[in-house]
A = this chain, B = another copy of it.
Amino acid sequence: MNATPQPLTLHEDRLFPSDPTQREIARRLYAQVAHLPIVSPHGHTDPAWFAGNAAFANATELLLVPDHYVFRMLHSQGIALDALGITRRDGSRANVDPRAAWRLFAENFHLFRGTPSSMWLNHVFHDVFGLRTKLDAGTADDYYDRITAALQTPQFLPRALFERFNIEVIATTESPLDPLEHHATIRDSGWNGRVITAYRPDPVVDPEHEEFAASLERFGEITGEDVHSWDGYLRAHRQRRAFFASMGATSTDHGHPTAATANLSTDESRRLFDKVVRGAASATEAELFRAQILTEMAAMSLDDGLVLQIHPGCFRNHNAGLFERHGRDKGADIPLRTEYVHALKPMLDRFGNDPRLTVILFTLDESTYSRELGPLAGHYPSLFLGPAWWFHDAPEGMWRFREQTLSTAGFYNTIGFNDDTRAFLSIPARHDVARRIDCAFLAKLVAEHRMDEDEAMEVATDLAYRLPKQAYRL
């Protein structure tokens, strides 16, 4: 804690190499992409914000409570989630003054030094709220007051921010059980913002999901299909996918524990599904079922054109005590070693050579970049690599992604950036970081005479804007 407030600046050359040759090139490349519209094809913002366009409550509710990057770091240093007012599993919350929670965050802001959260947050503080002193114990109250006050003004309503952020299109993520009423509201509102959905069927696809049986029941009600038979279950998916596509979806998304795919016969699938429906599937059979579903989804994608995203390899809710108390998505997910070469083969044997199919692969296991993912994407027409994801969505992680996939996948089997966030205000910051790192990476190639600057300029624009639109068919 400093006695006098320290100035907060956002240097125009941040994230660029300090070597003057590279910095000059990076600046020129960045100048061409800095102001391109934001294409956000994968994320977790709440469509209710844009449907209702209500003001965000206060600094804590907006910036602290929903951001598991932030509260997991505070938790790691012994701060209880209840002290921050983080939601409990039963939906209740500790009776915490949001200002007190904010102060606790501010006092510990040094923990984030060097992390992407500190970059994103400082960008938000500086550019979105116009703050010019650093957040610390001494400035906590001023921050809280100024942010909370700003949020009550028209310029800080969700739609106004959406426009100010120059978002061309943003995708949210919904379950097949979601009626997409907020998307309908947005569509019918006359507002021009393009907020689309994405089809994320995990609750009706994962037999080990705690709400699988209830979700399946509801899936049948919504679709009118006999979802307890394999054929009806597949028809129900096709129906909901069509509905999602009608609400703008161009992709599906699958968050499985592994990247396993399968290629069962129809009879085998039916038998397996019967066990799944009866709740009689073993862990191995549950895994096989999820694996088969990925292949079925690929088959449907060939028909309806939805892009297939695979986000595997996370141990969800690793912290048993915290899960008991606070439930899912509380910063207790831990990456796992992940295998792709054998895992994807069944699906690839069926559809891998079909250039009409787009499968976008993500990983939390960076050891697979150069060994598995680059070589796979550098061979199969249907495969593309999603950007550095989640724990790796940081300058170093983005750099490693490029550095380890370039020689085998090139730039053109990758698909630009995903912000993947529910932290709406950080979206410009996140895209800015990605653009800066790509420009810095390209600047090194140019400075080392591996690429001419005009080519790098084209690649920079492709990565920032053209490739995500193309890959996601936007």
- A interface residues with partner B (beta carbon < 8 Å): 6, 11, 13-19, 21-22, 72-73, 75-78, 110-116, 118-119, 315, 318-322, 331-337, 339, 341-342, 345, 348-349, 352-353, 355, 364-367, 370-372, 374-381, 383, 391-392, 394-397, 403-404, 406-413, 444-445, 447-452, 454-455, 458-459
Contact = CB atoms under 8 A, between A and B. Distances in A.
A283 to B, nearest CB: 14
A286 to B, nearest CB: 17
B407 A450 contact: no
Given A6-B454, A367-B367, 7 more contacts: A14-B450, A16-B448, A110-B412, A111-B410, A116-B407, A332-B379, A335-B372
A319 B15 CA distance: 40
A448 B11 CA distance: 9
Among A15, A383, A409, A412: residue with most chain B CB under 10 A: A412
A119 B409 CA distance: 15
Q: Can you list the 9 inter-chain pairs with the closest CB atoms, starting with the nearest?
A: A78-B355, A394-B407, A11-B449, A14-B449, A18-B447, A18-B21, A78-B381, A367-B367, A320-B349
Contacts of A451: 113-114
A451 B110 CA distance: 10
Contacts of A6: 452, 454
A341 B365 contact: no
Contacts of A448: 13-18
A322 B380 CA distance: 10
Contact of A19 (B18, B76, B409, B412): B18
18 contacts: A11-B449, A18-B21, A76-B409, A111-B412, A114-B445, A119-B450, A315-B341, A315-B342, A318-B345, A318-B379, A319-B349, A320-B345, A335-B341, A335-B375, A336-B372, A367-B367, A394-B406, A396-B403
Contacts of A366: 367, 370-371
A113 B411 contact: yes
Nearest to A322: B353
Given A15-B449, A407-B115, A391 B370 contact: yes
A345 to B, nearest CB: 7
Contacts of A454: 6
A396 B406 contact: yes
A114 B337 contact: no
A318 B352 CA distance: 11
